[in-house]
Structure 1
């Protein structure tokens, strides 16, 4: 009913009382059938005609509109008093009013209706309670009710209904002709049980279209009333979003006593809302923040959050205390529905600010170790559009990456690209038969531009940093031809043309000084064009080998080899005729005299030196064929041994020295039905090094060694989980596909899970174990380095309601544990109890939180925390 739903605003009272008691709330259910209430009708079993078929009739009393009624069991009519009795899932519909119940008495003479359930005389169970629906309002369940069609007055007993994320129960509820609702002994709670664990007990109240007025109200926890409450409540209920005060929390940490997150909420319109919060500390630190959310159904949604902090550290009177740290953080997320504007995309994911914000503020009071230990920040805002019937695709982006430890910032403002779909210019749409060789000729085009800077944080907003921006535009035109030769060989040939446009070049000179000379660099502003091209041709094929076994489970080994060779030619763009490289004038005996006028360009400069060489690569795949015992429908199964093992390099005939390049290799394999995957890679150098570690133009094979291993890496990860976990992952994938059809609240919950997976606990997954291992070895000359780390994480159910989560790792090179954290969760139906503990490291902490599950009462929680910032 319209007069029931607005009562959800009473939840504000819960937040007010919860802050006063700094704890959690439960409620005592009122008696739903007082002595003076109308009792539900109990019918003798012989009054129900089981053989009566379902009927539909139209009343002809004094109703202003047609009344339609039906029943699945039987319909009895009292023609003398003009009363109709409906038994067994009776239904009455009048205008936008519809009611279902196991017993309905329709008094057409007095324009009234009474509905109730029926108590089974054998089981003594009360079933078939009335379910009332009016307009677009949610269904209202009651024990019994009266309603007068003429006066529009009604009275119900034992009301239960959904109210904006919570549930309202009331012992009595009645409505007058002015659309005003009166209720007694009500409970508002987010617990959906008939006897809720907690709630706000409201003695009586009045609900209208514009306001709700209540009498005394108080909180009840597990049938124990709290000693705190309010004598009355007045809640305006406009038909639009409204603002209100956001209550703070109080406590103490290393910055002193604090009043945290005092603020104001403002509903701007149906699409936007805004909240502003502030935190004050007794030792002079403060934090300010504002968060805005927006959404337009089937179009877009997002949120913007800006936070600023002034933090005083150290001892009062010291220089570090007098000069506070000024930090800020900006986040913005935006997503667009794919159906909002077909062919056009726009998205944003921004996380920028000073690198010390999270460490100085303790992750803005939440003490999230992941945020505090964060090493990088990154952002991206992208736009894309497909046009000309899909022939062209344009995309642009603004991106940012930030190294917090090094305090460096990289900005790309903007980067854009225009790509054309590859076409066959000599082919025709009305061609019949196979393509001729010249019709296979393909042409493509792409353009990309960039304007970027890599600098320190403190230099970013200074005027002189503008000249440090690197910008340019690059055009690429690939022309290729692919043919099949002698059935077994694939021939590919192509011409690559690239042209770059830059807005500045450099000139170097030697200036005389007292000690000899100094190298000076001048920047020349103006448009400059540089081009390069290359030719390539290649052949590739596949070779198959098989070795059969006559005995044992192993039936055969199959080897697939894919060799390829190609010829590449590129002229020497370092010669004077191109003008890309110049010589220094003066005494250059101690320095290199040759330099490029495009120093450190955004798209690079043509490489000097002629290239006329052969590139080669070979890829291998090995698998075993094994007799199958598990599956009776299959006689054999294929098991991969090496999913890939490839080698690649090139030989440059035109080079003066070091003609053979380094040999790169990589591969991957899997074990235990692909539950454990292993990837490896490396680099082999065919040339020797001298005693100082310098590379010399002599092959290592002359010393009896095939090559020097200069780099090797290996990584593996595995996940062992229960079948329920796999089902859960499949369900999450299905949810992700249907996300556009979910409600705003459901989408917010999914977004919260993606931002903080630790906040989501699935008790349907009995156990899960995951681990990742990485190893890397590199050697440069005589110096070598090794990294060797292991990370492990997972969870398991102790009982159906207790879950333990863990994450840890070990750095074998540093010989110490990485960030280690344990979490224990207890499902309390409508509440969550969680314990988090990090026993080692810089950010040791523990926290205990008891909170309401429902997001509408998310501020109702009791927390105990001890960490580097908080000690209370």
Structure 2
């Protein structure tokens, strides 16, 4: 290591310019003794002037300044070399050898060999090669965001320009290699005989070859005539020019289309459009699809965002669908639309206030006419919600306002609830002292609350005969009020008593009277409008406790089993305040089947049940836990706690004041997670009474004629689990932003700036699961089974019918090799119809910088096949080969 060579070099250059005759013999003056004695100090001293001199008030300015040569560099050049440094004084050059490092302002150069020319201000760096000429180490150049690795680098300190040979550099996701690269300034380079690729290998799998290339850092790369090559083999495809955007973040530009085919719509271009950045808060996307048979659609998507304030997106779609040809009997021309809006407010903008919107509304047939989108085709429901809430800090009350929309695309029924208001007063204790000294008195635990709701609903069918007057006729409003009064008493031994009083009231608009029409042999409904009030008051006293039981084992891996029982009993009384709204009517032509109805049933809020209740409500909740001894672990990990059953139990009631059928239905439930993998939930509704030939309960217990628990009214069972192998080692399986398709330009799809992009990406992921495979997981499997039983009344009220359904859902994937993945998705089997409803199979191949995907949907009304091969890099995400076929069952 040599330090200060640069200073020595400057001095030697100045000495070289002077003609000085060198002295052959130099004597050291320090060896001769001086015989002349030193002079004595003068004893006379000048006295200080007693007259005060006036100071000059004009400051003295030194007019002499050092003028720098125009050829002087703007800063020092720092360098070091591990091997050696040679200074050529006559040639004004410095030669550096062995892992050299040179720095000048923001320029950094590391190379095996460097030559610095003082006269031309040019620094030349060369690579290191072995005796056979093989490359060992390249020269590395860095300036700002520019980084080059080259065989030879020439850089001018003065002009900041450079020339490199056989150079590799990276611009964003793009790797650039050129035989000769000229650096024009700090952000622009010109490449001769170059290639561009997103493959990180020295010999890339694919590239674009061009003789001329201009790159503006983080902005754009433009080429002359170019052609692609794969594995070094050029393809006979030539383009007059190439345009590669390199800018990060948002920027305006064209949106390239994708070629798609559809059996019903023909050959088409999907996604063609333009993206415009209006300002830092607002951007807009306009896209369209067009097909050869005459179908076209347009989508306008403005997106807005203000940091720490709000963000959202609006989605407006219009589609003109043409099916078959004009003279065909099945010809149809349909115009549909769809409106979507998402909006959210940052809680930091207004503490205590929230506002959100998620609107999805449009024509009922819009989703059914979407090509190549199975998920939207089968989506029969559309829901919208706009909600606002306000909480006052330090106050016990809050306000909520909302508007909701529900749309059934199959029946074309639309329900709009506008507005829905709710006001809640949290429990307050009016008798509680402001300053509590000592223990609380019993009456200080008396709490009072309030909950009120108001709603207004409109219902109509999306048909051609729809009129605004019919819409207003369907409007109905209602309100509900509830005043709970509670009190917590001190525990009495193991028991906890809690008295309560609840008063509820509903305001309803309509009264429905159903009567049997003997002429038409059907039930007719007469509607009368007005203001109707139904109310209910309940008095109760509940008692609860916990009972623990433990069974221990001495010589077993099962250390203990613990059973927790939580019984609860409540005594309730409810007077009959709603019987005036109930009536009995005939249901069929036999004259023997009658039904009991409430004239207020069918309003926005449900009425209360008739009859008084005076009895008990009881229930028991349980859970089971086990302690398991481990063979291998010791100490704190020797015994592990396992939850066998998270909860199981029942609840029911008995009405002492009822005339008949005093025992109420039993609600049974169970929930458990076995081995921390299998989730099980089950529930059932059991009636304790027998039924007549119409299926209606009679006042006779089910077990009176033999051993029978009751009549099953409803039952459900759901079992789900998920298994997956361990991920690869982090060092071997870590993905970068380039390999992760869910990242775009280093940002996750959850970035609020990408709300619309997120929705579009997630939609594309559902349609093309094979393109988003996690190759770090060798295999994964998820199973879901559900079964249900329901006993429901027939449409004509002539009896009951039993409905049974069961289905199995399977999703899974496994890696055949580290690069091949096979997966099945959306496998849905219906046991009721004994048919496979949906099934999607996909095969994926990881090709380093490319990915191949095959998707096959052989079952269902919309069957499809697609083959896709595309680069992984987001920069070239539209450079794909796609072949899609869709087959529709009418």
Partner of 1:132: 142
Which residue, out of 179, 185, 199, partners 1:171?
Answer: 179
> What is the rounded CA distance, in whole Å, between the counterparts of 1:430 and 1:486 in structure 2?
27
Once the 2 structures are TM-superposed, how far is the Cα of residue 861 of structure 1 from its aligned partner? 1.4
Q: Is the 8 A contact 1:58 1:69 kept in 2?
A: no
Residues 68-106 of structure 1 deviation map (CA, whole Å, 9 limit, x = unaligned) = 746584785849437585864725241x55555565555
- Find the residue that maps to 1:409 and give its secondary structure: strand
Partner of 2:571: 567
Partner of 2:230: 221
Once the 2 structures are TM-superposed, how far is the Cα of residue 702 of structure 1 from its aligned partner? 2.2
> What is the rounded CA distance, in whole Å, between the counterparts of 1:624 and 1:90 in structure 2?
66
Which residue, out of 356, 359, 363, partners 2:368?
Answer: 359
Partner of 1:793: 811
> What is the rounded CA distance, in whole Å, between the counterparts of 1:438 and 1:765 in structure 2?
61
Q: Is the 8 A contact 2:127 2:150 kept in 1?
A: no
> What is the rounded CA distance, in whole Å, between the counterparts of 2:535 and 2:744 in structure 1?
47
Partner of 1:681: 683
Pairs within 5 Å for 1:178-577: 181-206=189-214, 214-232=223-241, 241-244=251-254, 246-247=256-257, 249=259, 253-296=263-306, 301-314=311-324, 316-318=326-328, 320-321=330-331, 323-334=332-343, 342-362=351-371, 367-389=372-394, 391-427=396-432, 431=436, 435-458=440-463, 462-500=468-506, 504-506=509-511, 520-524=526-530, 532-574=536-578
Q: Give the paired residue count.
A: 796
Residues 249-281 of structure 1 deviation map (CA, whole Å, 9 limit, x = unaligned) = 375633345455544443333444333334444
Once the 2 structures are TM-superposed, how far is the Cα of residue 664 of structure 1 from its aligned partner? 0.5
Which residue, out of 843, 861, 866, partners 1:847?
Answer: 866
RMSD value over aligned CA atoms?
A: 4.6
- Give the direction of change, closer, same or farther, for the CA distance of 1:530–1:646 in structure 2 (3 Å limit): same
Q: Is the 8 A contact 2:686 2:713 kept in 1?
A: yes
Residues 180-201 of structure 1 deviation map (CA, whole Å, 9 limit, x = unaligned) = 5432223333223233222332
- Give the direction of change, closer, same or farther, for the CA distance of 1:133–1:387 in structure 2 (3 Å limit): farther
Please say which of residues 293-302 and 196-205 is displaced more in the overlay. 293-302
- Give the direction of change, closer, same or farther, for the CA distance of 1:371–1:505 in structure 2 (3 Å limit): closer
Once the 2 structures are TM-superposed, how far is the Cα of residue 566 of structure 1 from its aligned partner? 0.9
Please say which of residues 54-63 and 484-493 is displaced more in the overlay. 54-63
Pairs within 5 Å for 1:687-706: 687-704=689-706, 705-706=708-709
> What is the rounded CA distance, in whole Å, between the counterparts of 2:806 and 2:131 in structure 1?
74
> What is the rounded CA distance, in whole Å, between the counterparts of 1:816 and 1:299 in structure 2?
51
Q: Is the 8 A contact 1:788 1:812 kept in 2?
A: yes
Pairs within 5 Å for 1:696-845: 696-704=698-706, 705-724=708-727, 743=747, 747=751, 754-755=762-763, 756=765, 758=769, 759-780=771-792, 783-807=801-825, 808-845=827-864
Residues 741-794 of structure 1 deviation map (CA, whole Å, 9 limit, x = unaligned) = 962678458766654352420001011121111122233566322212222221
- Give the direction of change, closer, same or farther, for the CA distance of 1:539–1:106 in structure 2 (3 Å limit): farther
> What is the rounded CA distance, in whole Å, between the counterparts of 1:722 and 1:750 in structure 2?
28
> What is the rounded CA distance, in whole Å, between the counterparts of 1:532 and 1:726 in structure 2?
64
Partner of 1:20: none
Question: Could you list the runs of 5+ residues in structure 1 that have no partner in the other structure?
Answer: 1-48
Partner of 1:4: none
Residues 289-313 of structure 1 deviation map (CA, whole Å, 9 limit, x = unaligned) = 3334444556555444333222233
Question: Could you list the runs of 5+ residues in structure 2 that have no partner in the other structure?
Answer: 11-67, 586-590, 793-798
Larger relative contact order (C-alpha < 8 A, sep ≥ 6)?
A: 1
- Give the direction of change, closer, same or farther, for the CA distance of 1:160–1:685 in structure 2 (3 Å limit): same
- Find the residue that maps to 1:839 and give its secondary structure: strand
> What is the rounded CA distance, in whole Å, between the counterparts of 1:678 and 1:724 in structure 2?
27
Residues 691-716 of structure 1 deviation map (CA, whole Å, 9 limit, x = unaligned) = 33221122223223332222222111
Q: Is the 8 A contact 2:486 2:499 kept in 1?
A: yes
TM-score with structure 1 length normalisation? Answer: 0.79
Q: Is the 8 A contact 2:209 2:226 kept in 1?
A: yes
- Give the direction of change, closer, same or farther, for the CA distance of 1:168–1:125 in structure 2 (3 Å limit): closer
Q: Is the 8 A contact 1:130 1:144 kept in 2?
A: no
Q: Is the 8 A contact 1:241 1:268 kept in 2?
A: no
- Find the residue that maps to 2:631 and give its secondary structure: coil
- Give the direction of change, closer, same or farther, for the CA distance of 1:142–1:421 in structure 2 (3 Å limit): farther
Partner of 1:17: none
- Find the residue that maps to 1:682 and give its secondary structure: strand
> What is the rounded CA distance, in whole Å, between the counterparts of 1:409 and 1:725 in structure 2?
50
- Find the residue that maps to 1:557 and give its secondary structure: strand
Which residue, out of 67, 87, 90, partners 2:101?
Answer: 90
Q: Is the 8 A contact 2:259 2:882 kept in 1?
A: no
For the pair shown, the structure with the greater C-alpha radius of gyration is: 2
Once the 2 structures are TM-superposed, how far is the Cα of residue 838 of structure 1 from its aligned partner? 2.3
Q: Is the 8 A contact 1:70 1:86 kept in 2?
A: no
Q: Is the 8 A contact 1:133 1:140 kept in 2?
A: no
- Find the residue that maps to 2:294 and give its secondary structure: coil
TM-score with structure 2 length normalisation? Answer: 0.77
Partner of 1:23: none
